[in-house]
Amino acid sequence: MAKVSLIGSGSWGCALAHLLACNGHDVIIWSFDESEAAMINQYHEHRDKLPGVVLQENVRATTSMKEACDGRDSLVMSTPSVFVRATARALAPFVPDGMIIVSVSKGIEEATLKTLSEQLKEEIPQAEIAALSGPSHAEEVGREIPTAVVVGAERKDTALYLQKMFMNGEFFRVYTSPDILGIELGGSLKNVIALAAGMADGLGCGDNTKAALITRGISEITRLGMKLGGQAETFAGLAGIGDLIVTCASNHSRNHNAGYLIGQGATYQEAMDQVKMVVEGVYSAKAARALAEREGVAMPIVETVNKILFEGMSAAEGVKALMMRDRRQENTQLHWNQ
């Protein structure tokens, strides 16, 4: 049995708390909100963000970072990406040397263009940082629907330890990888493509359009990800194409749902207000565009999403702009014999 604390009490944090408790671990959920912590302790359920998922008795909530860290074996950082650095900075004094922190959120910091694990290393240098990602909606993990993800760590022993900690033979399968960077980039960049897929659905486009966005989207993600040091195999796996498919196609996806509303004419702020959750793709869009420009990588879908979100282009104009681009060869690595 491991002693694990979830730093963040949203739907994903609560779903993972349920999973870890099912696996027999002692689980604490940290929340910044006293009323939220009280609700979880009283009802063993987050009735606002993950209704219907009843947490086991060995799950408890606290607002004390010290309590969330004291005597724990590892932490799972499940706060929204925009709050990761500030939360990590506040957490740092309570984290002992060598503690494992698993980043399970998805995003890139706009100001620094750094991944979440890079931010965690800067703010909590005494910890060992890992990352978990893949096609894994909280609503389905909480309902114990079969799911597969990948966990990345610098040391193989750490990856194997986390694989054993999270793995549940009935509904949660975990693979291991040494490519933390690729895992995080795949999980972050796919949210921007999912916004585009939602916009297309909001406009009334069909399956052909969505398939094109997913396929060309993973091409963009892979180009940038490899330029930054990620591995092609990662983007062809669960944290890449797997996560992209589920986020572009599911009604559970807040990024898809926000994109849908934008496609119907809402601003990004109006869409986020209606979704009532943090829409990571809105925050990652500018960072993705800046990374692409810095690295000299063409990302037309990401570029178009930025224009729709922040520069007044309509979703319909965005689709037309993508369709009217100059003719291209699909893969420049393939060559004719004659």
Query: What are the residue numbers of the active site?
Result: 190
Give the contacts of 184 (CB within 8 A, at least 6 positions apart). Answer: 103, 106, 115, 116, 117, 131, 133, 152
Q: What distance, in Å, lies between the first and last C-alpha atoms of the chain?
A: 63
Helices then strands, each counted (H, E), the chain: 16, 8
Residues linked to residue 5 through DSSP beta bridges, in sequence order? 28, 75
Residues linked to residue 133 through DSSP beta bridges, in sequence order? 150
Residue with token string 């995003």: 107
SS3 labels along 205-269 = CCHHHHHHHHHHHHHHHHHHHHHHCCCHHHHCCHHHHHHHHHHHHCCCCHHHHHHHHHHCCCCHH
- Tell me the C-alpha distance between 260 and 200, whole Å: 7
CB atoms < 10 A from the CB of 273, how many? 12
Q: Take residue 292 and report the two structure tokens written for it.
A: 């692409």
- Tell me the C-alpha distance between 19 and 148, whole Å: 13
